[in-house]
């Protein structure tokens, strides 16, 4: 009886250590994304996407895995949460700013910290906040629209308002919460959506989790990419849903 209990305790301890290790891995997924109407001028355009940092410190080990200089760095929401010191937040932004120019979209946890202090950090490192806005990049006569919406969880998203600022060209939509998919239709002309929020379920047993699994999903409107995020909230444990960041290279189908 005592030996059986001891074996169970040891097994549980081993599992917890493994889950802690999984939650602190440093993974960059290098993915080519083919977009049918992408102008050739933007063929090879790179986006480094990191979301759900929460309490983690962005590791130099992670950043060293980025083999090329991305055109933009996107912090896809939940950069921080209540209780995280702003010194750590600032250090994370500083490190990411060395990778490339930063675009930020709001996540649900970002809304519950001192937003003025957070925006001061963004100002210091010239971070562009997309709050239901479109940022248009131009190469020759061609345009790439990077559209960022506010948090869907708290119903602060304004999709139509955000799309008003687009120019004729390809649109990439940034949404912290992938539930934006329920609002999207083919007429919106958005071939690619990038999101996070779900942590890939964070803990999945036999493939099952409480939240949406990470990965690339095809929808009638186009492609949805759900990152499993870099950090965790509540407890620093993962199982079956290791953290990830994304280095996305846009490719023209022509």
The owner of tokens 């059986």 is 4
pLDDT in tens, 29-75: 999 999 998 999 999 999 999 999 999 999 999 999 998 899 999 99
Tell me if 107 sits within 8 A of 197, measured CB to CB.
yes
Q: Which of 128, 167, 168 has its CA nearest to residue 148?
A: 128
- For the stretch 100-143, pLDDT in tens is 999 999 999 999 999 999 999 999 999 999 999 999 999 999 99
Terminal-residue alpha carbon distance, the chain: 68
The burial class, CB within 10 Å (0-12 / 13-18 / 19+), for 82 is: exposed
Per the structure, how many domains does the chain have? 1
Tell me what the mean pLDDT of segment 173-189 comes to: 96
- Residue 209 pLDDT: 67
Question: Residue 82 is part of which domain span?
Answer: 2-252
Q: Name the 3-class secondary structure at 184.
A: coil
Asked if residue 16 has pLDDT above 80, the reply is: yes
119: domain CATH number is 3.60.21.10
């Amino acid at each position: 009886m005592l030996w059986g209990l001891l074996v169970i305790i040891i097994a549980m301890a081993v599992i917890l250590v493994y889950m802690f290790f999984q939650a602190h891995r440093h993974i960059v997924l290098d993915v080519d994304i083919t977009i049918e109407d992408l102008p050739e001028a933007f063929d090879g355009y790179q986006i480094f996407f990191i979301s759900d940092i929460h309490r983690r410190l962005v590791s130099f080990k992670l950043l060293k895995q980025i083999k090329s200089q991305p055109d933009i760095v996107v912090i896809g929401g939940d950069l921080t949460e209540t209780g995280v010191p702003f010194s750590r937040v600032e250090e994370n932004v500083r490190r990411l700013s060395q990778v490339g120019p930063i675009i930020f979209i709001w996540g649900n946890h970002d809304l519950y910290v001192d937003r003025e202090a957070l925006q001061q950090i963004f100002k210091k490192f010239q971070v562009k906040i997309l709050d239901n806005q479109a940022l248009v990049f131009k190469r020759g006569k061609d345009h790439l629209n990077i559209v960022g919406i506010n948090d869907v969880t708290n119903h602060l998203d304004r999709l139509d308002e955000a799309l008003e600022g687009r120019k004729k060209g390809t649109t990439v939509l940034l949404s912290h919460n992938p539930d934006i998919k329920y609002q999207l239709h083919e007429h919106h002309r958005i071939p690619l959506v990038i999101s996070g929020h779900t942590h890939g379920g964070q803990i999945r047993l036999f493939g099952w989790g409480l939240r949406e699994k990470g990965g690339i999903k095809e929808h009638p409107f186009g492609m949805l990419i759900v990152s499993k995020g870099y950090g965790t909230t509540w407890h620093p444990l993962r199982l079956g849903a290791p953290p990830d960041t994304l280095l996305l290279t846009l490719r023209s189908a022509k």
